[in-house]
Structures are given as C-alpha cells and as structure tokens.
Amino acid sequence: MTQQPAAKKLSAPTLSRLPQYLRYLEALHAEGTGHATSAELAEVLGVSDALTRKDVSALGHSGRAGLGYSVEALRYTIARILGVTSGRRVLLVGAGNLGAALMSYQGFGDRGMNITAVADNDPDKVGQIHGGHKVLDINAIGTDHDMELAIVAVPGDVAQEVANTLVAAGITGILNFAPRRLHVPDHVIVRTVDLSAELQILAFHRDGASG
C-alpha cells in the first residue's frame, strides 16, 4: 500500500538517507529485482531495521509480508521527492581542475542531475570546449534559462561574487565547493562541501583512533 508523502514533513535525517536508498533501489531495479526488505535496506545503509521501516513508513509505503517493499514504487516515490524523475538541469561554474573532474563525474547523470551548461569568468576559458561544453561567460548568464541548480567550483575569493550573479540569474539551489560561506537570500538553498575540512576532520578521528 502506498500513500502520498508530504515531503516537507520528512525529518532532516530521513531526507539525508533518501539518496542512499535510491542508489540501492536503482541497482535492484537494473537487476530486475521486484521487492526489497527493510533488513536489506538497513544493511546497505548501516542503520537499524527499525529505522528503515520508520523511514519508509514516512514515505507512505508499507511492505508485504514475506516480500518487503516494491522496488519500483519505492524507487519512484524517492525519485519524485528528490525531484529527479525527469532530470534536473544544472549549471557548473568553474572550468578549472575541480570543475573538469565534476564535468566527467557520471554519477550526476545517473542520479538525474545533468550538467547542461558550464560558465567561468576567466577570459582564457570562456569560449573554449571543456567536457563537451562551450564555456560561457558567467557575467553573461541572464534569467533566460531553465536551470534552478548550480555547482560552484571556484576559488574562495570570488565565490561570493559568483553566488550573487547566480542569485540574480534566478538560481535557487547552490552546491558550493568553494572554501567560503556564501551569503544568499532566504529563498536560496546552499549546501557546502569543504573537501579540505573533511580531510582534516578525518585526520583528527584517525589520530584519535590510533592514539
């Protein structure tokens, strides 16, 4: 049985696990597997069976005795909540080394996130072809586009300026790889991935484990 979930009422921890559920369900779907139990899902995510059942219940699904949850139905529900049922067009800002790596990352497309445009403020990069994309001038990005999401892969000293340009262009979601906090209006959502900070935290925990 499936009921329509209220996505905005899902807890933050549940939302954070949805991409992991979806990744596993996509793999099962590709294999032709029809059902998955809460125990299977829990093992893949490294959480308790009870927590998985709670998560799936919050999505409006209930399992069948002896079978578990419908892979197709649960997969579609999660994809719809995450907004990737028909694919999302994403703007990548930054055609440097990190930007090039992100352009070639197949995982975005596999998860319904398609980098459809690349922009930079470096005159030497603008107009060049990178990863199959002609690099656009970030300052020429207007509001005449169908992208809501952007990835910022630029140095920290220009990240805020880039964010301001993106907000003015109507971008409402930013994945920020720059080592700087971005200040944006309340209607714009920013998620920051600081790779060096994550490595420092990892080193701290590693030293603690060995000490």
Q: What is the residue extent of each domain of the chain?
A: 7-80, 88-197
Q: What is the 3-state secondary structure (H, E, C) of the chain?
A: CECCCCHHHCCHHHHHHHHHHHHHHHHHHHHCCCEECHHHHHHHHCCCHHHHHHHHHHCCECCECCCEEEHHHHHHHHHHHCCCCCCEEEEEECCCHHHHHHHCCHHHHHCCEEEEEEEECCCCCCCCEECCEECEEHHHCCCCCCCCEEEECCCHHHHHHHHHHHHHCCCCEEEECCCCCCCCCCCCEEEECCHHHHHHHHHHHHHHHHC
Backbone angles phi, psi at 124, to 5 degrees: -75, -20
Class of domain 7-80: mainly alpha
Contact 129, 103 (CB under 8 A): no
**CATH no. for 88-197:** 3.40.50.720
Mean pLDDT value of segment 66-88: 89
> Average pLDDT in the 74-80 region?
92
Average pLDDT over residues 41-45: 95
What is the rounded average pLDDT of the residues 184-193?
Answer: 96
3 has pLDDT over 80: no
Residues 157-166 as b or e (16 or more Cβ within 10 Å = b): ebbbebbebb
User: Looking at residue 210, what is its pLDDT?
Assistant: 60
pLDDT in the model for residue 209? 64
pLDDT digits (tens, 9 = 90+) for 115-142: 999 999 999 999 999 888 899 999 888 8
Cα–Cα distance measured from residue 89 to residue 56, given in angstroms and rounded to the nearest whole number: 28
For position 143, what pLDDT does the model report?
A: 81
Contact 36, 25 (CB under 8 A): yes
Contact of 22 with 82, CB cutoff 8 Å: yes
Average model confidence (pLDDT) across the chain: 90
Q: Looking at residue 107, what is its pLDDT? A: 84
The residues with which 93 forms a beta bridge, in sequence order, are 119, 152
Looking at the predicted structure, is the pLDDT value of residue 1 above 50? Answer: no
Confidence (pLDDT) at 100: 92
